[in-house]
Structure formats: structure tokens, C-alpha cells
Structure 1
Amino acid sequence: MGAACIKVTKYFLFLFNLLFFILGAVILGFGVWIIADKSSFVSVLQTSSSSLQVGAYVFIGVGAITMLMGLLGCIGAVNEVRCLLGLYFVFLLLILIAQVTVGVLFYFNAGKLKQEVGSMVMDIIQNYKTNASSSREERLQEAWDYVQAQVKCCGWASFYNWTDNLELRNSTENIYPCSCEKTGEEDNQYIVKKGFCKVSNSSSDAIFHEEWPVYPEGCMKKVQMWLQENLGILLGVCVGVAVIELLGLFLSICLCRHIHSEDYSKVPKY
């Protein structure tokens, strides 16, 4: 009965580590996506925020370690190698500690992160140009255009943020950011307009921002709504991963102790 139980534990631990290997590949891919993505709000964050850049490399590192850990766990479980199971236990414990540390740091720095993002977006809006002066500036502008068009928002707090734009303020025409323009359901949602557009049916030669055919709501509220809607899912996933990791620690200890006692029982007694 004991041998059968250990056999079940061994193969259950193998399947567990196979899933962990796949999870590591997903985490690694997510980190690479943050670094490589140039067409969404993530690009705005990772280009301007050193914190997100560091976080992306942390994801890549954790993903690689998780894949290595899953491989060690699979080999150690099938072949009952105590050394590999020990390394697996240490790696898993370190990852669990790292996850808890990152969660605590994120919780206590959430307000600071929100302030940094707001300042960063306002800087992009104020310095937005029809012809960007550098490739980095062009990437940021394209990413912000993509956000406004896809999320259907304008500015950060509201569309009035665009009245602080230098090019718009110096213009003698009534122009507005093209990516903020309201679109109908029949319009192609994948086409993102760039630069500034002129108000076609202006009531006078004077500049009235109220005549802009743009979304009045700022992107800050949209982002906060998205975070609130997905926070429960994110929390549930984190708790689920932590429980699975604790289960992996328990199973590896059980199998390691069984291998130790089995090896001891095989030693000839005189």
C-alpha cells in the first residue's frame, strides 16, 4: 500500500512539474512580450518607466528559472534522484518568496506607480508632434495613439489635457488629436489615426475645444475600470499559483524522505 502511494505521488509530482514547465514558458513569453511590444500602452510604460523594464526582465528570469525547476522536478521525480528533488525544493521556495516580495512591494508602491504613469502620459501629450524628433518619441506617440483609439478615450483625466499640447496651442486652426476621434461600429477599429485633424464643421473661425469630435472621457478612468474588473481574476490566479507551489513543496519533501528511508533500509546490517 505504501509503495503504491509513493508511486502515485511520484507520477503526480511529474505531472505537476510538467505544468510548471509550461507555466515557466508562459511567464518567459510574457516578459519578452513586454520588452518587444511597441503598439500598446505597455510600450508607453516600458519605454518611460524603469520599474516596468526591470519587472519585464524579472518575468524573463522567473520564467527561465521556473522552466529549469520544472525540468529538474520531472527528472528527479521519475528517477527518484534526491539531489534534483532538493534543488527543485530550493528553487520553488525561492520563487514563492520572490512572488510574495513582489506582491508586497507592488501593494505599497501602487500610489507612486499611478502618479508616475500620470506624469509620464501628460509629458507625452504635451510634447506630441506631427513629426516626432526621435524614434523613441515616435514609438511613444504611436503607442499612445493606439491606446486612445482602442480604449476609446482622450487625454489622461479628460480630453482637455490636450489643450496643453505645444503644437496645438500654437496652431491658428481648430485642430484635435486624430486618435481621439469618435468612430462608429461600422468603422475599421484596427486603423489608428495619427497626428492632428482639423475640425471640419466649425461654427466660426475661433477655436472651440468643445467642438472637437472626440471622446470626452479620459483614459485614466478606463484604465482604473479595467484594473478593478481584472483585479479579482489576477488575485485568484496568484493565490492558485501559491497553493500549487506549496503543494509542490510538500510532495517533493514526501518523496525525498521516502527515497532517504528506502536507501537506508537497503544498507546491509551485520
Structure 2
Amino acid sequence: MSCMSQCAKYFLCFFNFIFFIAGGAALTVGIWLFADRTSFTNLIAKLDQSDLLTKTDADVIKMMAYILIIAGALTFIISFLGYCGAMFESRCLLCVYGILILVVLILECVVVGLAFGLKGDVEKGTQDFLKDTIAKYYATTSDKIDTVTVAWDGIMSKLHCCGIENYRDFSENKNWTTMVGKMVPDACCIKENDVLKDSTCPINPTSFNTYQTGCYKAIMTAIEENAAIVIGVAATLVFVEVLVIILALYLACCYWRPQHVYRCVEPSGKE
């Protein structure tokens, strides 16, 4: 086998081995969360001295488990096929692997196309989903702070925004307005030196003491401002997927007839 074929083989082995391990880890965590979330959350709480996961709503944990299981299983299976196909020089496995990566690439293009083609519906659906997370899962008291609450507080503080469209989105969380007695969380309030500019902000939000921009708009603005990075990451992902498809099919060609392997890499007439 030529140097080029050897390089392609070991690149695919190394590439798929990394994703094989990552996929296996994600699948293991997902199954653990689904089967016994209490033991997992208690372990994490002991490791990072935090009880965020233990306070997180069971529905959120279940959703995380489903995502990890599906993503982990797909990554595990596809990378396993790629690794074994390259390592054991199996043209069948390499062809299946290349076709699966091609299907993934096509699905990604379809999703992006639908997102642009149905932009209005996608935006509304995304906003409704985000509003639902605030209405159902945003913590009402400090002793119930969970991952959803921490995530939203971090986004609002970092991007200087409040709610999805505006601070009135928190009124949809009835537990928040009735039990806490506040209109908005502290993360929505303008601060100076990490101290609230106006101490009455959580109870009486105004345009002078509260971030007026909705977080959905703030996130979209941040993405647009970093469009070069987003495009670069997307282009790199597509390039890697196309490269892997080409290498897999190239090796499959070389392994098609083992006794004539050199015909794939040397000029005709040399055997």
C-alpha cells in the first residue's frame, strides 16, 4: 500500500477513535441519567461542590438524557464503522461509513435550507420554546436555583438583555410573580461595580434600570457580529466531513480487489 493510502488509513483510524470515545462517553452518561439520575447528580454534586443538577427539574434532566443517548449512539456507531473499516481494511464497512457521513452532510444542508426558507416559523418556534423554559423552569427562590436558571442569568448578564422579547416575559412565570414578588430577576437589572444601579429594579423595572433588549435579539446580534467565526466553523465542519467521505471511498476503492491494490495508487502497467 502506498504512503498516501497509509496516511488515509491512519488518519481515519485516529479521527474515528476520538469520536468513538466521545460518543461512548455521551451514550454512557445519557443512559446513566435516564436509568438513575439521582446517583449521577449526587456524584456531580460531590465533584464540583455544587447542587445545580440535583435541583434541576426532572423533565430537563430527561431531555438532556435523550439528547445524549441519541447523539452518543449515532456518533458511537458511525465512528465504530469508520474505525473498523479503516483498521481492518474492510471495503464494506468503509462504504457504509462514507454513505452515512454523506447522509449526515445532506441532512445538515437540508436543515440549514429549511431554517432559511422557513425563517419566520423557525424564529417563532424558537422564541416559544425559550419562553417556555422561563415560564416553567426559571427558579422562584435562591434555594431552587438550577442549571436552567444559572444559564439564563449568565446569558442576561453577559449580553445585557432580559427575557426573550423583553422583561415582561417573566410575568408568564406565575410562581415568579406571586411567590417571589418581583417583576424581573437581578440579572435583568443594570449594575455598576456588580451592584444594582437601582435597588428597586427587580420590583419596579423601568427603561432606566433594566435591560430593555430581549435576549433572542441579543443572541442574534451576537451571532451576526461574529459571523466570520460562525462561517469559519461551519466551513471547517463541511470540509472535514467531505474529506472523510473522500478518504473512506478512496480506501474502499483500494481494498476493492486486494490482489490489485497497487492499481489504485500507481500508474497503469505497474504491478
TM-score where L is the length of structure 1 = 0.64
CA gap of 1:174–1:248, structure 2 versus 1, over 3 A, is: closer
Worse-superposed segment, 173-182 or 148-157: 173-182
CA gap of 1:26–1:72, structure 2 versus 1, over 3 A, is: closer
Q: Which residue of 1 aligns with 2:140?
A: 130
**Greater CA radius of gyration, 1 or 2?**
1
Report whether the alignment pairs 1:14 with 2:9: yes
- Alpha-carbon distance between aligned partners in 2 of 1:165 and 1:108, rounded to the nearest angstrom: 32
CA gap of 1:96–1:27, structure 2 versus 1, over 3 A, is: farther
Worse-superposed segment, 17-26 or 59-68: 17-26
CA gap of 1:75–1:25, structure 2 versus 1, over 3 A, is: closer
Report whether the alignment pairs 1:181 with 2:180: no
Q: Pairwise mapping of residues 31-180 of structure 1 onto structure 2 (< 5 A)?
A: 47=60, 56-76=68-88, 81=89, 84-108=90-114, 111=119, 112-126=121-135, 128=138, 130-131=140-141, 138-166=146-174, 170=178, 176-180=184-188
Report whether the alignment pairs 1:24 with 2:19: yes
Question: How far did residue 22 of structure 1 move?
Answer: 4.7
Contact 2:171 2:183 in 1 (8 A): no
- Alpha-carbon distance between aligned partners in 2 of 1:11 and 1:55, rounded to the nearest angstrom: 36
Q: Which residue of 2 aligns with 1:268?
A: none
CA gap of 1:96–1:262, structure 2 versus 1, over 3 A, is: closer
Question: How far did residue 187 of structure 1 move?
Answer: 4.4
Q: Deviations over 1:150-176 (max 9, x none)?
A: 333211112343355435655897753
Structure 1 gaps of 5+ residues are 1-5, 189-196, 264-270
Question: How far did residue 253 of structure 1 move?
Answer: 2.9
Question: How far did residue 125 of structure 1 move?
Answer: 3.5
**% identical equivalent positions:** 16
Give the partner amino acid of 1:144: W
Question: How far did residue 177 of structure 1 move?
Answer: 0.9
Question: How far did residue 236 of structure 1 move?
Answer: 0.1
Q: Pairwise mapping of residues 245-260 of structure 1 onto structure 2 (< 5 A)?
A: 245-257=244-256, 259-260=258-259
CA gap of 1:167–1:86, structure 2 versus 1, over 3 A, is: closer
- Alpha-carbon distance between aligned partners in 1 of 2:219 and 2:25, rounded to the nearest angstrom: 20
Contact 1:27 1:62 in 2 (8 A): no
Contact 2:161 2:212 in 1 (8 A): yes
SS at 1:153 equivalent: coil
- Alpha-carbon distance between aligned partners in 2 of 1:162 and 1:95, rounded to the nearest angstrom: 42
CA gap of 1:94–1:171, structure 2 versus 1, over 3 A, is: closer
Question: How far did residue 122 of structure 1 move?
Answer: 2.0
Contact 1:158 1:217 in 2 (8 A): yes
- Alpha-carbon distance between aligned partners in 2 of 1:125 and 1:212, rounded to the nearest angstrom: 23
Question: How far did residue 100 of structure 1 move?
Answer: 1.3
Aligned residues: 233
**RMSD (CA atoms):** 4.5
Q: Which residue of 1 aligns with 2:265?
A: none
Contact 1:174 1:199 in 2 (8 A): no
Q: Deviations over 1:173-192 (max 9, x none)?
A: 775311223345x649xxxx
Give the partner amino acid of 1:47: V
Q: Which residue of 2 aligns with 1:218?
A: 214
- Alpha-carbon distance between aligned partners in 2 of 1:217 and 1:260, rounded to the nearest angstrom: 67
CA gap of 1:174–1:62, structure 2 versus 1, over 3 A, is: closer
TM-score where L is the length of structure 2 = 0.64
